[in-house]
Structure 1
Amino acid sequence: MSYQALYRVWRPQRFQDIAGQKAITQTLRNALIQGKTSHAYLFTGPRGTGKTSGAKIFAKAINCHYLKDGEPCNECETCVAITQGQLNDVIEIDAASNNGVEEIRDIRDKAKYAPTIADYKIYIIDEVHMLSTGAFNALLKTLEEPPKNVVFILATTEPHKIPLTIISRTQRFDFKRISVRDICDRMIYILNQEKIGFEEEALPVIARAAEGGMRDALSILDQAISYGDSVVTIEHAMSVTGSLTQELMLAYFDAIVTRNTEKGLSLLQEILADGKDASRFVEDLILFSRDILVYQQAPQMSDLLDGATVDTGFKGLSETISANLLYQMITILNGTQNELRFTNHPDVYLEVATVKLTQLNPNPAASVVEPKAAAATPVEAAPDQGKMANLENELMQMKKQLQSIAANGGAQQPVKKAKRAATKATGNQFTPNTPAIYGVLKEATKENLNQLRDVWPDLLNMLSVTQRAMLKASTPVAASPNGLIVSFDYDILCQKATNDTELLAAVTEYLRRLVGYEPQMICVPAEQWPVIRGQYVQQLKGQPSVKKAPVQQSANPTGQAPQSTTQQQENGAADQKKRPAEADSSEWDSLEGIIPPTEEEDNTVVTEAMNLFGKTIVEVRND
């Protein structure tokens, strides 16, 4: 193969070629100049940061007879042989495939022999954390008392897996992630040497996608060069990395600021349709939010921005979006980023995050952040006065509600609260099938609900990955032999589950296998479930009692003696227990344990009054 990848062609051959690790390279060079090298080194850090390259450069430098300022000459016979991998005194071992005790014992035995050509015999053990416990024990004695003219260089990405007895016998150097600027400088040098045209705006996009690894950056750069026919442009870099342009980012943030959910979802679908990576999309949003915060606090330090361009749109957004809103956005995006790691259906979580972001309600008093308004004046106390007026109005409303409760005996409050919640639940939210829910509640039993809750984890394991992800944030809340009510944390998941006929059929079939009957699943959002349940309870409370007519002697077809008054009262009491419509009101508050009570039904305005005025002031009287 005539062509070689850029990261192979431009592998560092001197310490100064290692980007972003100046402290480490300077220390190693001074140690070589002063002749104070150690017998064992430990190089740790993320992938692609120069650990193995640094080990090979050190092996050349310690054996080079023409050392200059701690750098190998790369021209003598020893340096050339090490660069080409042909020197027997420099042994590179992959611990991932040579992790047994026998391999390490073989190294220990051969280390006793003097080097054949070079001055020092160098053992470079890559991914040393893969060694077994026995292999580490076999290596321990050699590291503690090494033979003369033998140097061990251990490299790993997971130093926490290495025994402390090994680490204590080495000099440890922690390679850090390479900054975006250092990666860009290295790429500019390589592109100029290769005589390849490029746009400087494209290089930070590639550097951010590399996540601190030079090898990854050069691999992405190789792809961008091939994509653009030996020219690297910003469009090519965006396409290869799956990143977003600043125009799309500004449009998405505009939808969040204006609380336009429809526009946000439309932009999201457009972004995903273009093949953008979901994780990269969330990462770009977090970094862009960070850039806005930095620019708001220190507009003169634009060099600290992580890829954002300070143009008219960026300045306008920084002046209209509040820092409080940015804090909330970053919190939501961080949670979404963690959820994306464990799902095969990322579009659902991105849609939920978009809905959340476009419905955020920033503090009205701080909705506009102007960088020049850092020094507040006494005139700005007007918003605080407005807050006080609003609080006084709320206190007056609470007092009126308490007086109304006292006048009516507190009986109508749950109904009013349920009506307000029902009104809030309407609008653009998902509308559940209320008649079907009432039908299930009419036949619901506590035994059916407990049985289905017990088998619910087994049911999720039987579903496909996509179906399981859809039901991940759901809980059975009521069940009967013919129906099952499932509460969803998110309206959008509830909508998707209701419209997914395959999912509904799969749930019914798998429940038949698990419990022996086929309940039909009905979906309801978690916010609306307490409202619907409360309405059903109030509906049952409001049913008129059905009283039996007195038993007449002529209406006794069996010819039996008429019952006494005492017997009639006992039979009436028994019938009273059988008829749900005539049950005591305290039993309906929990529906005899069939439907678990919710917090919204327990927390009345009295509780709110206690929180507002204090428990020592409010006196609760039960009429």
Structure 2
Amino acid sequence: MSYQALYRVWRPQRFDEIVGQSIITRTLKNALITKQISHAYLFTGPRGTGKTSAAKIFAKAVNCHYLKDGEPCNQCETCKAINEGSLNDVIEIDAASNNGVEEIRDIRDKAKYAPTQADYKVYIIDEVHMLSTGAFNALLKTLEEPPANVIFILATTEPHKIPATIISRTQKFDFKRIKPTDILERMAYILQQKHVDYDDRALKLIAKAAEGGMRDALSILDQAMSYGDNQITYENALLVTGSVTNELLTKYMQQVHQQDTKNALLTVQKILDEGKDASRFVEDLTSYCQDVLLYQQDPQMVEEMELGVIDDEFKQISTEISDSDIYQIINELNDISNSLRYTAHPDVYLEVLTVKITHLDEKKPAATTIQTAAQQAVPAPNVERTIQQLTNQVNQLQEEIDTLKKSTTNAMPKSSASADSAATKPLARTKATVAEHVELAKIYPILGSATRKQLNQFKEVWPDLMNTLTVTQRAVMHVSKPVAASAKGVIVSFDYAFLYQKAQGDTELRDALENNLDRIVGKTPEIVFVPENQWPQIRKDYLANHKDQLASSKKAGQDADPKADESAGSDEPPIVKKAAELFGKEILDIKND
């Protein structure tokens, strides 16, 4: 027989062989043991985490007459036929290539017929999010009132694309990314069964490069075996994954921290000369910076997460480099990562990146920089002469500034118009950026009913809420704070844009915040994230855009009950009162037009 890939040969055949999904497999086995079988299941999660394998095992188990502890026997005719793919009653469909209405109608019509060989007819629809809107609608009625002895198992990597009407008719199971330790253990078991020699460091590198996918890990392992002639070495794993060694990353970070631009550029050139992928280098460096940040918070967690690959040099750089420098480096890496996708000259971008992050401290105030330069560069006997030269230069610059001011004043009517038009463009771009990246549709309803009392309540419980999170989640949220709140929602701002982006895409973090808030305050408000640098503009735009609405609501309230507001007769505009109600009087700065 021709050679088969490792992930096909070692595909799980029992629930206990599925790696890293113990909660899901236990639930499915208990459902089979107690005969509490649903008519439809939805398996969601990243690629290579066991969704399709679990679906096939469940199809075997529900039709196996020799079930033991919820596991199929894999010995009876039904189990063997399903393993071989020859049982007509278990139908596996790829929704990516069968996503039309006609295909789903055909499934719906054939589902009415009883199974021919097995007890249940099982439809496994993979990548179900690829179905068209009409196909989903055709599937709705069948999922709501399915024929007897028919089970649907839907699998997808993008559950957000599935209509809520479909999700509500299924039992949903979320498959998580597999821990590197579990992937490492499974790969070691497979290599031992195949009697293949391997280097522990190589398996750790592959387990980390797989990014939580067992199938990806076995594919990389297969490639490394082919490259090394059935021998897994650390050097081969580095070549196959395109990764950079921890030693080289540590060396590069030390050069960056010491502002040794020349040697840092040589290190980058060495990395590229060895054939390493520039995008992979940026990913590895970002992961390295993340490990440094987390190591400063919880060293034990990082050692477990990195499978023990932590050396003394890493520990030293973690104690020397500040978290603010790490934040700046990660911001630069994020910008470069986006640019590398569209360039044919990655070496240029990496060299520019290196120069930028080796000069982070140059953003100091000008006076401090001049003073430091004078102290470091000028010998003691020449200090007075240098100070005199600098004083003359400052006087000369001041004269030039005065001259420019006079010329600007004389040309004011012409230049002011152009200045206004020039200023309008950045403002338009700023508003467009806010609208593009921030969920204004969720923020405005919260601001419409926000009160200072609600905000103070969330501020009081915020430290308790942070203590309920994991260390990784706290590392993301420790620079956040609630800035506005109502009975139905709370707006949380982030000091750093890259942490805002990370939190925005982390559904587990959002679920943890909402669940823990429910335990602390007894309700589950909607949580909306905003960057700190955009929050003042959003607040200002809201008050300006809803000025008439605020004024009319205030007037209506006074007409209904003149005594409802003690300050109804005051000269304070309604928008000022609303701003004070939303954000408190202590932060207001009222200026007359």
Shift of 1:215: 0.8
**Structure that is richer in helix per residue:** 2
Could you say which residue in structure 1 is the equivalent of 2:22? 22
Q: In structure 2, what residue type is equivalent to 1:332?
A: E
Could you say which residue in structure 2 is the equivalent of 1:33? 33
Residue 11 of structure 1: SS of its match in structure 2? coil
Q: In structure 2, what residue type is equivalent to 1:411?
A: E
Are residues 1:346 and 2:334 paired?
no
Could you say which residue in structure 1 is the equivalent of 2:255? 255
Residue 66 of structure 1: SS of its match in structure 2? coil
Structure 2: how far apart are the matches of 1:320 and 1:296? Answer: 10
* CA spacing shift, 1:311–1:415, aligned 2, 3 Å: farther
Query: Does the aligned pair in 2 maintain the 1:179–1:212 contact within 8 Å?
Result: yes
Could you say which residue in structure 1 is the equivalent of 2:336? 336
Query: Does the aligned pair in 1 maintain the 2:180–2:305 contact within 8 Å?
Result: no
Instruction: Describe how 1:106-117 pairs up with structure 2 within 5 A.
Output: 106-117=106-117
Deviations, residues 312-334 of structure 1 (Å, cap 9, x unaligned): 32233233322332222222222
Structure 1: how far apart are the matches of 2:110 and 2:74? Answer: 27
Shift of 1:407: 10
Structure 1: how far apart are the matches of 2:397 and 2:314? Answer: 58
* CA spacing shift, 1:136–1:294, aligned 2, 3 Å: closer
Query: Does the aligned pair in 2 maintain the 1:294–1:304 contact within 8 Å?
Result: no
Structure 1: how far apart are the matches of 2:403 and 2:261? Answer: 32
Q: In structure 2, what residue type is equivalent to 1:24?
A: I
Shift of 1:259: 0.5
Shift of 1:153: 0.6
Structure 2: how far apart are the matches of 1:222 and 1:174? Answer: 28
Could you say which residue in structure 1 is the equivalent of 2:399? 411
Structure 1: how far apart are the matches of 2:93 and 2:307? Answer: 39
Residue 324 of structure 1: SS of its match in structure 2? helix
Structure 1: how far apart are the matches of 2:235 and 2:139? Answer: 51
Shift of 1:106: 1.3
Shift of 1:415: 8.4
Query: Does the aligned pair in 1 maintain the 2:49–2:178 contact within 8 Å?
Result: yes
* CA spacing shift, 1:248–1:45, aligned 2, 3 Å: same
Residue 124 of structure 2: SS of its match in structure 1? strand
Residue 93 of structure 2: SS of its match in structure 1? strand
Deviations, residues 360-380 of structure 1 (Å, cap 9, x unaligned): 11999xxxxxxxxxxxxxxxx
Shift of 1:294: 3.0
Q: TM-score, normalized by length of structure 2?
A: 0.61
Could you say which residue in structure 1 is the equivalent of 2:213? 213
Query: Does the aligned pair in 2 maintain the 1:291–1:305 contact within 8 Å?
Result: no
Could you say which residue in structure 2 is the equivalent of 1:516? none
Q: Which has the larger radius of gyration?
A: 1
Could you say which residue in structure 1 is the equivalent of 2:45? 45
Query: Does the aligned pair in 1 maintain the 2:46–2:157 contact within 8 Å?
Result: yes
Query: Does the aligned pair in 2 maintain the 1:287–1:306 contact within 8 Å?
Result: no
Instruction: Describe how 1:577-592 pairs up with structure 2 within 5 A.
Output: none
Could you say which residue in structure 2 is the equivalent of 1:470? none
Q: Which sections of structure 2, spanning at least 5 residues, go unmatched? A: 365-370, 376-387, 406-417, 423-593
* CA spacing shift, 1:321–1:72, aligned 2, 3 Å: same
Identical pairs, percent: 65
Shift of 1:15: 1.0
Instruction: Describe how 1:208-247 pairs up with structure 2 within 5 A.
Output: 208-247=208-247
Query: Does the aligned pair in 2 maintain the 1:288–1:308 contact within 8 Å?
Result: no
Structure 2: how far apart are the matches of 1:123 and 1:171? Answer: 15
Query: Does the aligned pair in 2 maintain the 1:72–1:79 contact within 8 Å?
Result: yes
Structure 1: how far apart are the matches of 2:305 and 2:362? Answer: 24
Shift of 1:357: 1.1
Structure 2: how far apart are the matches of 1:191 and 1:313? Answer: 32
* CA spacing shift, 1:123–1:406, aligned 2, 3 Å: closer
Could you say which residue in structure 1 is the equivalent of 2:529? none
Structure 2: how far apart are the matches of 1:305 and 1:404? Answer: 58
Could you say which residue in structure 2 is the equivalent of 1:78? 78
* CA spacing shift, 1:162–1:410, aligned 2, 3 Å: same
Shift of 1:416: 12
Deviates more, 1:408-417 or 1:146-155: 408-417
Instruction: Describe how 1:313-392 pairs up with structure 2 within 5 A.
Output: 313-361=313-361
Residue 361 of structure 1: SS of its match in structure 2? helix
Structure 1: how far apart are the matches of 2:190 and 2:116? Answer: 36
Structure 2: how far apart are the matches of 1:414 and 1:256? Answer: 41
Query: Does the aligned pair in 2 maintain the 1:205–1:307 contact within 8 Å?
Result: no
Query: Does the aligned pair in 2 maintain the 1:324–1:362 contact within 8 Å?
Result: no
Shift of 1:142: 0.8
Query: Does the aligned pair in 1 maintain the 2:181–2:307 contact within 8 Å?
Result: no
* CA spacing shift, 1:405–1:251, aligned 2, 3 Å: closer
Q: In structure 2, what residue type is equivalent to 1:193?
A: Q
Residue 177 of structure 1: SS of its match in structure 2? coil
